[in-house]
Amino acid sequence: MSGVLAARKVRVDVPATTANLGPGFDTCGMAFAYTDTIEVEVFEAASGEQPSVRVDIQGEGADYLPRDERHLVVKALREAGRTFGLSADTGLHLTATNRIPQARGMGSSASAIVSGVTAAAALAGLDVAERAVRDQIFEISARLEGHPDNVAPAVYGGLTVSWKDADEFRTVQYPVSEDIHAWVFVPDFELSTQKAREALPETVPLKDALTNVSRVALLPAALGRADNALLFDATLDTLHQPYRAPLMQPSADLVQFFRTHGLASTISGAGPCVLLLHAGDITDTVRALADEQLSEAHWRMLHVPVDRAGVRAERIS
């Protein structure tokens, strides 16, 4: 082997994430304590044989996600393994327990990439809790994903604001009040990020851009102070959601319904999940409003705490 394995089997837990939070298009993200879990075991390929990959999947996506080298966790692990000095000739057994809905705007692809990169770091004996290691995981994952908005909160937890400076991805974290509660409404239909991006215009009116700039500047203060009035204003978007609404009209209608009741609501990521944020637990109120507007057969409601730890890894053997 070209690299020395410090572990043969590791477990990684990675949180779901939301991106944009309304006005912070491709920039803002936040993590939820609603995790996907993977276990990765590595073994030597027999002499002269190609390394085999076995993938077992439980939960979301189990009926259609690939079970070979095409699986996103495996691809990310292999790519990161080059950086961390792992051999490409090892066999892999991946067990994935998926809770994060696929193609719904909760960061499922970012979570898969982050978990694969983190698994590679842990197999190489690196301490994922160390900031320098996390920074490396973030940089590799953001490069593989192509944008950092979901990757950053998956790695670091909490609220993040990310950007690209020349060829380097950067991010900063902001504190989120313990009083902030989040609800995610998951519809029974999917929407690919690519299709959602294709709906966006090349240019937007200056007044819409100015609206978003002013609102996104409020987000860290609103979430840090747990100020519902600020939170309502800070989650207004005019830059991307209006153009994507026809692709997920039930979701757009639900956002508008909640906002007419004075609640901070927005599309989660590229959609079609709907995010609602509030200072204080108003689950009964949220559930009553949802029951008024939604068909139980087509939507799930998740009450998800904010995750402040980010990805976690442990050595099993």
Is 30 annotated among the ligand-binding residues?
Answer: no
**Taking the CB of residue 43, how many other CB atoms lie within 10 A of it?**
15
* 302 neighbors 183 (Cβ within 8 angstroms): yes
Residue with tokens 């939507």: 299
In three-state secondary structure terms, 90 is strand
The Cα–Cα gap between 297 and 152 comes to 33
Is 110 annotated among the ligand-binding residues?
Answer: yes
Is 101 annotated among the ligand-binding residues?
Answer: yes
> In 3D, which of 266, 316, 308, 311 has the Cα closest to residue 110?
311
In three-state secondary structure terms, 171 is strand
> In 3D, which of 35, 1, 8, 3 has the Cα closest to residue 93?
8
Strand segments, DSSP code E, in 134-189 are 159-165, 168-174, 180-187
The bridge status of strand 264-267 relative to strand 274-279 is antiparallel
Is 107 annotated among the ligand-binding residues?
Answer: yes
* 61 neighbors 72 (Cβ within 8 angstroms): no
* 98 neighbors 34 (Cβ within 8 angstroms): no
Is 82 annotated among the ligand-binding residues?
Answer: no
Is 109 annotated among the ligand-binding residues?
Answer: yes
Is 103 annotated among the ligand-binding residues?
Answer: yes
Is 102 annotated among the ligand-binding residues?
Answer: yes
For 105, phi then psi, to 5°, come to 95, 25
Strand segments, DSSP code E, in 85-217 are 90-98, 159-165, 168-174, 180-187
Is 104 annotated among the ligand-binding residues?
Answer: yes
Please enumerate in sequence order all residues whose Cβ is within 8 A of that of 256, keeping only pairs 6 or more positions apart, or say none: none
* Binding site as annotated, residues: 101-111
* Binding site as annotated, residues for ATP: 101-111
